[in-house]
Chains A and B, each alone.
Chain A
Amino acid sequence: MPSPRYTREIPSRYRLEAGRCKGCGKVTYPARTICPSCRGEEIEKINLSPRGKVVTSTVIHVPPDDFLMEAPYAMAVVETPEGARLMTQVVDCEPSTVLPGLEVSLEFRLIRKEGKSGILCYGHKAVPVA
Chain B
Amino acid sequence: MREVAIVGAGMTRFGELWNQSLRQMFVEAAAGALNDAGADRVDSMYVGCMSGGQFTGQEHLGPLMADQFGMTGVASVHVESACASGGVALRQAFIEVAAGVSDLVLAVGIEKMTDGADVTNVLATAADQELEVYYGVTFPGLYAMIARAHMHTYGTTEEDLAWVSVKNHRHGAKNDKAQFPTEFTVEQVLSSSMVAEPLRLLHCSPVSDGAAAVLLCPLDQAKQYTDRPVKIVGSGLATGSLALADRDDPAFLDSVQKSGERAFKMAGVGPRDIQVAEVHDCFSIAEVCCIEALGFVERGKGGPAAKDGFTAIGGCIPVNTSGGLKAKGHPVGATGVAQAIEIFRQLRGEAGARQVENARLGLAQNMGGSGASSVVHIFQGV
**B interface bracket (residues with beta carbon within 8 Å of A):** 35 or more
CB atoms of A59 and B197 under 8 A apart = yes
Please measure, in the bound complex, the distance between the C-alpha atom of A73 and the C-alpha atom of B244, giving whole angstroms.
18
Stretch of B6-14, B51-59, B136-144 on the interface side: B136-144
Q: How many residues of A contact B (CB 8 A)?
A: 36
Please measure, in the bound complex, the distance between the C-alpha atom of A9 and the C-alpha atom of B144, giving whole angstroms.
27
CB atoms of A60 and B136 under 8 A apart = yes
Q: Which residue of A lies closest to B199 (CB)?
A: A58
Q: Does B135 contact A (CB under 8 A)?
A: yes
Residues of A within 8 A of B146 (CB): 56
Residues of B within 8 A of A123 (CB): 134-135
Please measure, in the bound complex, the distance between the C-alpha atom of A9 and the C-alpha atom of B141, giving whole angstroms.
23
CB distance from A60 to the nearest CB of B (A): 5
CB distance from A37 to the nearest CB of B (A): 10
Residues of A within 8 A of B243 (CB): 87
Query: Pick the contact of A70 from B130, B136, B140, B245 — CB < 8 Å?
Result: B136
CB distance from B118 to the nearest CB of A (A): 6
- Looking at chain A's contact residues, the main secondary structure is strand
Q: Does B193 contact A (CB under 8 A)?
A: yes
CB atoms of A66 and B136 under 8 A apart = yes
Q: Which residue of B lies closest to A77 (CB)?
A: B245
Interface residues of B (CB under 8 A from A): 118, 120-121, 124, 130-138, 140-141, 144-146, 148-149, 152, 193-199, 241, 243-246, 250-251
What are 14 residue pairs bridging A and B, where the CB atoms are less than 8 Å apart in the complex? A36-B241, A56-B251, A57-B148, A58-B145, A58-B148, A61-B195, A61-B196, A63-B120, A64-B118, A72-B194, A75-B135, A77-B145, A88-B135, A121-B134
Interface residues of A (CB under 8 A from B): 9, 28-30, 36, 55-67, 70, 72-73, 75-77, 85-89, 96, 99-100, 111-112, 121, 123
